[in-house]
Structure 1
């Protein structure tokens, strides 16, 4: 590998992913931090995120957790996809809450990884716990020698 550090690799891979991640952008997510095997994304709960109970629950929370998972498991500049995910919902979000999803790599062995994501409000109250299993497919997000895109 080139002289790219793990942190630089994570930042470049996140930038390449973010460029085409229209779903996360549409939900109003923000990348707060990325590093090797980790990512932190946030999202302000908007009115259009609320369900029929007037709360943010289920799919919207899963989407935030899944996006943090994706940025964490792609941080090694490998094209990586979800193989399996599970989530436990602890509490709903409310309109105006800023939710923070912290993803961290538990283990990475060959082409498979395990990642945990905690979604919480800014006050630390846990909204959901997510576990994702990843699988690396062929290709990278950028060419480490030239720094340019490499989606091959």
Structure 2
């Protein structure tokens, strides 16, 4: 059962998410959307957002999308297709959509765009649903 407040708290208490300062914009069953503001601390040597920041944002939001079914999840694997340098925008926005959530394994696709809609990256994560239900 979807409990948006619990899911937001789960995202916010994650120490690494706190370090980056990302924000959840929307949660519904099988879906999560969030953003990360551009910051000079996150830049690579070319002036774009470092790929590791993009991957972290995607992993965090895909995990929230998977957890909307009521269980804690852990990442099994993930990939990212860097399509364009993430720069010349104020923020990046990630949308995560569950493709299939089985009893134990979930498949979640995502996109990362700039605030002007420019597509920067796509990918897929797989999560293992733990037996422990969200508290």
Q: Normalization by structure 2: what TM-score? A: 0.92
Per the alignment, residue 114 of structure 2 pairs with 121
Which residue number in structure 1 is paired with residue 54 of structure 2?
61
Match of 1:77 in 2: 70
Could you list the per-position Cα deviations for residues 76-132 of structure 1 after superposition, in whole angstroms to 9, with x for gaps in the alignment?
220111111011001122265311000000011211111001000111111100200
Per the TM alignment, residue 70 of structure 1 is displaced from its structure 2 partner at its CA by: 1.1
Deviation at 1:57, TM superposition (A): 3.2
SS in 2 for 1:136: strand
**Paired residue secondary structure (1:94):** coil
Aligned length: 135
Question: How far apart, in 1, do the equivalents of 2:90 and 2:83 lie?
Answer: 15
Aligned-residue RMSD, C-alpha: 1.5
Kept in 1, the 8 Å contact 2:89–2:116? The answer is: no
Which runs of at least 4 in structure 1 moved beyond 3 Å after TM superposition? none
Provide the residue aligned with 2:126 in structure 1. 133
SS of the residue 1:54 aligns to: coil
- Return 5+ residue gaps in structure 1 as ranges: 1-5, 143-152
Provide the secondary structure at the position in 2 that maps to 1:138.
Answer: strand
Counterpart Cα distance in 2 of 1:10 and 1:88: 31
- The runs of 5 or more residues in structure 2 that have no matched partner are none
The SS at the match of 2:25 is: strand
Query: For residues 92-107 of structure 1, what are the structure 2 equivalents within 5 Å?
Result: 92-94=85-87, 97-107=90-100
Larger radius of gyration: 1
TM-score computed with the length of structure 1 as normaliser: 0.82
